[in-house]
Structure 1
């Protein structure tokens, strides 16, 4: 596939190679610009148009944050909080997911001919690599036991792998937004730790914003005769993800201890990250509000992911209807 420098555009191979921030003001300004962007282009940004494509690439380039989450000062944790962190059933999956994502996106970027989209997806691959480095450093800082990482092999079907990663991030990020806010509100983890991961959550918002607009662009520019096969592949990806989320992943660390990892932790793990009881409909509401908040600063003419919010509304409304019906049934029994 070539060297990292060729795959990841003109960004350095490692986040440690990025220049240190000149001041706290520079850090604050970079963080603001990572969350707010509007294209100077007037008029609609129709998927498939040159204006839309260039706006998508410019958004991802202009909102890049060179300082955070690269600048990490891991807070010292009390024994109870450290135990909560170590006990979360996600670390093997989290590190390996980022490792797969960086490779899959880099592999797909190699296939893209359009220079604007190629640059954006290459930068996305670099940022996935940065996320993996952050997680790896956190695991080392808090001595979290991990299974040995498997070799990261370039996928045979590069488009399939990219679609799996993109749609998976759209779902996981949506629910992670709500879970992260719940953790912040509950104070279950120290503010220093949640502040450390805040810019990573916003980067995930940018990633799925890029994916949603790439998908619309790809559909608009591909030849008509490729559309049926592509759409069949999209449906197959969703079926694969649904099957994957119904299972648990098991890994074994270097001491022979088995770790059970929850593929669906972003939906099922609220009690592991917060000491607040929250109903499923209320959690869906929180995810929807956080999703809106994180996307609010970006040009409204750019498309947003829609499937996870749609499912959340269905779950919320169904849950509320069930609560209402159950209340009536209980009242009539008295």
Structure 2
């Protein structure tokens, strides 16, 4: 399958044995939505033993967490609120939609490709569900841009990765970086009042789902490396370092893209600063944004079992940056 270019994504075909989770028919009620949201953001293990990475118990509880916190919202029935002209223009002009849609398209395939290679049934099922949820994120974005008339660049066909593990590592660590900033930006947008509360709440399940995704990734990485013999672990750690170098290079450079009219344009992959200005009307400083990202990162993870590992790289870097910054910005 390495040479295959996929025109249609179907995780059931890509990952043998995977079955999508059941979802209720019809439009969910307010009570059902509230209950699903509560279950998606809080989970505790009932086992008393240590959840040591690499053990069967750790793997079992990580995968159980991911199953138990599944949120059965359906993109097709999300209610997109009507926007006034100024808010609509603000949404349309955000410099994120092309990258967001294409990122979800890549992520779903890369996760499914790596899940396909796993011999452990529990972890294979969890990563396949992760891929299914990434496809659902793409559906949410597609429905939103359709609802608000946002023009996107044509999507290139998604190619099956030659090295599924590398592709999964790139996607997983990239989500750890992007989600850390997205948590803060999302809260900044909510506080700014520039967007209707109904629109913010519509995206809330997607944001919390990203928290679950990187929680799964952090624990998969610890479980995977702990099970490797020392000679394979050295190779794995070198691959992880190469992934971080690749992501660092990607985020300080400019990516070439095609706009809605088919014209080449420069697009900054690191849109955190420009995104912050867009969602707050320029009213937030870098120091304030980093502090907000840290607070939101902590809040979103706070409901999950404390013995499960969290992504640590971005919080550590943010704390270091805050210590180096002057308090007056």
Q: What TM-score do the two structures reach when normalised by structure 2? A: 0.92
Contact kept? 2:254, 2:269, Cα under 8 Å: yes
Alignment match, 2:71: 65
Counterparts of 1:1-334 in structure 2 under 5 Å? 4-7=11-14, 9-11=18-20, 19-21=25-27, 23-67=29-73, 71-253=77-259, 255-275=261-281, 277-320=283-326, 323=328
Contact kept? 2:76, 2:143, Cα under 8 Å: no
Q: For residue 304 of structure 1, report the CA deviation from its aligned partner.
A: 0.2
Q: Which runs of 5+ in 2 are unaligned?
A: 2-8
Contact kept? 2:52, 2:58, Cα under 8 Å: yes
Inter-partner Cα distance in structure 1 for 2:20 and 2:99: 26
Q: Deviations over 1:56-107 (max 9, x none)?
A: 0000000000126663111111111111111111111100000000000000
Q: For residue 259 of structure 1, report the CA deviation from its aligned partner.
A: 4.7
Q: What TM-score do the two structures reach when normalised by structure 1? A: 0.91
Check 1:23–1:81 CA distance in 2 against 1; reply closer, same or farther (3 A cut). closer
Q: For residue 6 of structure 1, report the CA deviation from its aligned partner.
A: 4.0
Q: CA RMSD in A?
A: 2.0
Q: Which runs of 5+ in 1 are unaligned?
A: 325-334
Contact kept? 1:95, 1:136, Cα under 8 Å: yes
Q: Secondary structure at the match of 1:251?
A: strand
Inter-partner Cα distance in structure 2 for 1:118 and 1:239: 27
Q: For residue 36 of structure 1, report the CA deviation from its aligned partner.
A: 0.5
Alignment match, 1:332: none
Aligned structure 1 segments of 4 or more residues deviating by more than 6 angstroms: none
Contact kept? 2:78, 2:202, Cα under 8 Å: yes
Q: Secondary structure at the match of 1:250?
A: strand
Q: For residue 43 of structure 1, report the CA deviation from its aligned partner.
A: 2.4
Q: For residue 253 of structure 1, report the CA deviation from its aligned partner.
A: 3.9
How many residue pairs are counted as aligned between the two chains?
A: 320
Q: Secondary structure at the match of 1:269?
A: helix
Contact kept? 1:179, 1:273, Cα under 8 Å: yes
Contact kept? 1:280, 1:316, Cα under 8 Å: no
Inter-partner Cα distance in structure 2 for 1:20 and 1:65: 15
